[in-house]
Chains A and B, each alone.
Chain A
Amino acid sequence: MVRLRQLPNIELLAFFLLLYAFFCFYAPHFNTASNLENLLVGYSFIAVLAIGQSFPIMVRGIDLSIGSIMALGGMVLFDLSVIYEVPGYVVIPAVLLVCLLAGLLNGALVVWLRLQPFVATLSTLAAYRGVVYAISGRQLFPEMATRPITDPWLTGMDSYLDIGGVTGLDQYMEMPWLPLSFFLLVGIFIIIQTMHSKTQFGMNFKIVGGNPEAARLAGINVKLTILSAYGLSGLSAGIAAIILVTRLTTATEALGNGMELTAIASAVIGGISLQGGIGNAFGPIIGAMLLGIILLGLTLLGISQFVQQIISGLILIGAIGYDKLLSDFRMRKARAMQSGS
């Protein structure tokens, strides 16, 4: 019961369900199995990115470079698989390693060079994108550029589970086919949520973000914590890259362009406070899916995409404003208590 009361993002979840219901009623073709499938396949990887992004934000930073890290991971995957024909079970760990290192480099810039996270990751955003063009097998071997990825390990990443068929439920209702990426997301959610609530490592992000001085005095390695936050962000960009590239069967140089904003928006909407120290793995997922249903719903309603972009911007402003409001409220409450009741 106690746990239930403390379930975070309860308002967000309610808003999500409300909006879902709204679109079901008003947007044609919204309440269909294939739309749900589109949502899951189109936004699971964004949810993964948002979970990753939540770590830098939690330690009072930000990672703007994830879109470029994604492209980097995607291009490494393309090069290894299509150009060098390395088997998929080697390619996947290699991509994850590259993205982890790219994230750790961000962390190193923040921790040791004492760069502002915004500046550090804005620089690497440009730098990693440059690396993508430099190593692009599509540029180096233009004749290979129109060849799709065929490695069964990699194309297998883009498979679906016909849950209705397996359980026999499709005799009664139309069930969506669940993409593998969704199961991956669920797995990541379980791991990260366990980490947050059950391990010292996960708790450290909240402690460092909530009060760095207290963390230091409690003997927590603040630098290592910040470093791992950026490492995790890079790693999740790698996972997202694998999901997206195996689905597209190729990588492009511009992959993930502007994706950092979607991920940051999802995380912030999901209740990861920009003031640091607050967060969980559930919020970013709901945040990403919320953005997803809004974009899908508005498209199905036939609303212009330019208007959609304006609406997404307004939602982000609303989320940040709400976050600011909450933290002001917390501070006021703390002050009121300090002056004695």
Chain B
Amino acid sequence: MSNKKERAEQEGRRDFLKGVVLGSAALGSGLVTPGLVIGESGKAMAAQDERVKMAFVQIQPHTVSSAWSVGLEEVLSTQQTIDYQQLDGQNKVEVQVSLMDTLINEGAKVIFLQPIDSVALGPSIKKARRRGIAVITLNIDASEEHAAHVEMNHYYGAMDIAKEMGKRMGGKGKVAILNAPPGIIIRDQRTNGFVDGMKKYYPDIQIAADQVADWSRKKAQDVLSNILTAQPDITGVYGVNDSMALGGVDVCKQKGILDKMVIFGNDGETAALESIERGELTGTQFTDVYQQGRFAAAAASVFVSGGVTAKEFKQQGKLLMPYVIATSETVGSIQPAQRW
């Protein structure tokens, strides 16, 4: 960026620039070069006054993605030079891809992405990386290498869920899984973790059913109803997210078998925590999603201020969130401010 252009751009900045120029002149340098300014300090960074654009492309409006956005904004808003924007993928792959293209064109520095499909967004991520844009995926990893991935610790969390669940079932019985649609890595992680956990800690417990319920409470009700009709001896239900687990609670309540059932969810949204407090849902993996958003934002800040570009990432950074297995005993320890 040339000196001339800067002058033309913004009147109010001129005085500050003058100071910098003077300072630089004192150092024997007649010109303000961008490289010089970046290297010096956070203040000089602001002096350059280049707005940094960051955006979050979500799947569609949902409690989890809203909470992430709150966490992201909390951190990013404290840094005056960052423009943050939340965009809606309308649950359509092609919309997310098109939004990615637009953001790349706009010269966004960081894109937070909750991909609808781990594979389908791959080419867009690759394109972003080519242009030096850092893509940080939230929860749902992508098949293409990217800057960083911040997740709820799906695999190990699911193992712990299996451990807790097996204990409550007395080490035996049958379990049904209400699963997410295939095509996203999170599904594999949360399912595999659970299955591996059961195998490791309670090998006598049998996984009797594994059906797709599309993340949805309504769909889960129908699916579990059918499963229980076919296999009435099932006593454990694992919902790959809380919505589906709560759908399971609905069915068991209606059939009057809630007492005998051990039902676990995953995520830890407020509705699930309240259900645990009422003694309906047995437990869930709680993650502080605000915190997750803040972590992602912190990582992003490092990328833009630390002089690290996405191209320099040979290996993708991976950040696993701390979690709590929330049950009737532990749920009280989760602070109201952490709930989302």
Contact = CB atoms under 8 A, between A and B. Distances in A.
B123 A252 contact: no
A34 B85 contact: no
Which of A29, A139, A257, A258 has the most C-beta atoms of chain B within 10 angstroms of its own C-beta?
A: A29
B183 A146 contact: yes
Interface in B55-107: 85, 87-88, 90-94, 97-99, 101-102, 104-107
B174 interface: no
B184 interface: yes
A146 B93 contact: no
A35 interface: yes
B227 interface: no
B182 A29 contact: no
Contact of B99 (A32, A247, A250, A299): A299
Nearest to A32: B105
A247 B97 contact: yes
Contacts, number: 96
Contact of B187 (A142, A259, A295): A142
Contact of A146 (B94, B98, B102, B119): B119
Contact of B92 (A34, A147, A148, A257): A257
A42 B120 contact: no
B123 A138 contact: no
Contact of A252 (B106, B117, B185): B117
B301 interface: no
A248 interface: yes
A248 B143 contact: no
Contacts of B212: 139
A37 B130 CA distance: 15
A185 interface: no
Contacts of B184: 145-146
A275 interface: no
Nearest to A82: B119
B30 interface: no
B105 A34 contact: yes
A254 B92 contact: yes
B106 A250 contact: no
A299 B106 CA distance: 10
B188 interface: yes
A143 B119 CA distance: 13
Contacts of B99: 299
Given A38-B105, A247-B123, A254 B93 contact: yes
B270 interface: no
Majority SS at the chain A contact face: helix
A197 interface: no
Which of B88, B92, B120 has the most C-beta atoms of chain A within 10 angstroms of its own C-beta?
A: B120
Interface in B106-140: 106-107, 116-123
A312 interface: no
B183 A252 contact: yes
Contacts of B123: 158, 247-249
Nearest to B184: A146
B181 interface: yes
A219 interface: no
A253 B93 contact: no
Given A42-B98, A148-B143, A244-B94, A249 B122 contact: yes
Nearest to A258: B92
A29 B107 CA distance: 8
A255 B87 CA distance: 20
Given A146-B184, A257-B92, A252 B105 contact: no
Contacts of A138: 181-183
A50 interface: no
A310 to B, nearest CB: 14
Contacts of A37: 105
14 contacts: A38-B98, A38-B102, A138-B182, A145-B184, A146-B118, A146-B143, A146-B188, A148-B122, A244-B94, A248-B119, A257-B92, A299-B99, A300-B102, A300-B105
Given A145-B183, A146-B188, A252-B93, 13 more contacts: A32-B105, A38-B101, A138-B183, A146-B118, A146-B119, A147-B119, A148-B122, A248-B93, A250-B120, A252-B117, A254-B91, A255-B93, A255-B94
Interface of B: 85, 87-88, 90-94, 97-99, 101-102, 104-107, 116-123, 143, 181-185, 187-188, 212
Interface of A: 28-29, 32, 34-35, 37-38, 41-42, 136, 138-139, 142-143, 145-148, 158, 244, 247-250, 252-255, 257-259, 295-296, 299-300, 302, 305
